[in-house]
Amino acid sequence: MRTVRAVSFSDVVFSGPTVTVSVRDARPSQSDRLWIGSIYREYLDDLSALSTGIFPVLGEVGHREPDQIARWFGDRNAFPLIILKTAERVGFAMVARSAHPLGPPVIEYRMAEFFISRGSRRLGVGRTAVNLILNRFAGRWEITEYLRNPGAVSFWRRVVAGYTRGSYQERVINGEVRQIFDSRIERSR
């Protein structure tokens, strides 16, 4: 059984006998930004292998990954994050904050991107990283997966249901599964 403990988000950590997971802001570190750029192709390969029709096979349309990553790092409503297993970078997430100038937003945060490298999957790293991220960005969330990606649908259903103790809404719209919930409710339990 894994034990977990948390410390401040600048170096948020859950640890157990076999794994320590932490999440940090990637913006201050040029090496984190370069690492995301290097692993982004693996992420796109995973998505293109699903034949969703949304993500082209790499090389088909040219490489626009650097432009996408530059947008993340230049957008004040985007939070690029590095996921670490012990001290090794094993994934990334990009949290998008909704920008609603008038009144409170219905959805405050979206998980725009989330990726764990193949060698670090099925170890609890992704679930633990998601919990850290949801605790850090407390508010109303929407997480979206494509129905054609059954692995992602299964992962997010399991993680969101566990995190919220079943207190979330799910809708399927235009081939997308959407989980909507408030992470502040979990923190108050």
DSSP H or E stretch at residue 94: strand 88-97
- How far is 115 from 92, CA to CA, in rounded Å? 5
User: Chain-wide mean pLDDT for the chain?
Assistant: 81
pLDDT top residue among 10 and 145 = 145
- How far is 100 from 14, CA to CA, in rounded Å? 33
Q: What is the pLDDT of residue 9?
A: 46
Q: Is the pLDDT of residue 8 over 50?
A: no
Q: What is the pLDDT of residue 130?
A: 96
- How far is 141 from 184, CA to CA, in rounded Å? 10
Q: What is the pLDDT of residue 65?
A: 59
- Phi first, then psi: give them for residue 179, nearest 5 degrees: -105, 130
Q: What is the pLDDT of residue 6?
A: 36
CATH of span 9-188: 3.40.630.30
Q: Which residues contact residue 76 at a Cβ distance below 8 angstroms, ignoring those fewer than 6 apart?
A: none
Banded pLDDT at 154 (limits 50, 70, 90): very high
Q: What is the pLDDT of residue 129?
A: 96
**Interior CA angle at 117 toward 94 and 29, to 5°?**
50
| HSE-up (13 A, CA, CB side) for residue 147 | 8
| 78 and 99 Cβ atoms separated by less than 8 Å | no
The pLDDT of 154-172, averaged and rounded, is 95
Q: What is the pLDDT of residue 44?
A: 79
Q: Is the pLDDT of residue 99 over 80?
A: no
Q: Which of 163, 29, 189 is nearest to 179 (CA)?
A: 163
Position 40, amino acid? Y
- How far is 148 from 154, CA to CA, in rounded Å? 11
pLDDT top residue among 124 and 5 = 124
Q: What is the pLDDT of residue 188?
A: 52
Q: What is the pLDDT of residue 2?
A: 39
Q: What is the pLDDT of residue 83?
A: 96
Q: What is the pLDDT of residue 135?
A: 95
Q: What is the pLDDT of residue 89?
A: 96
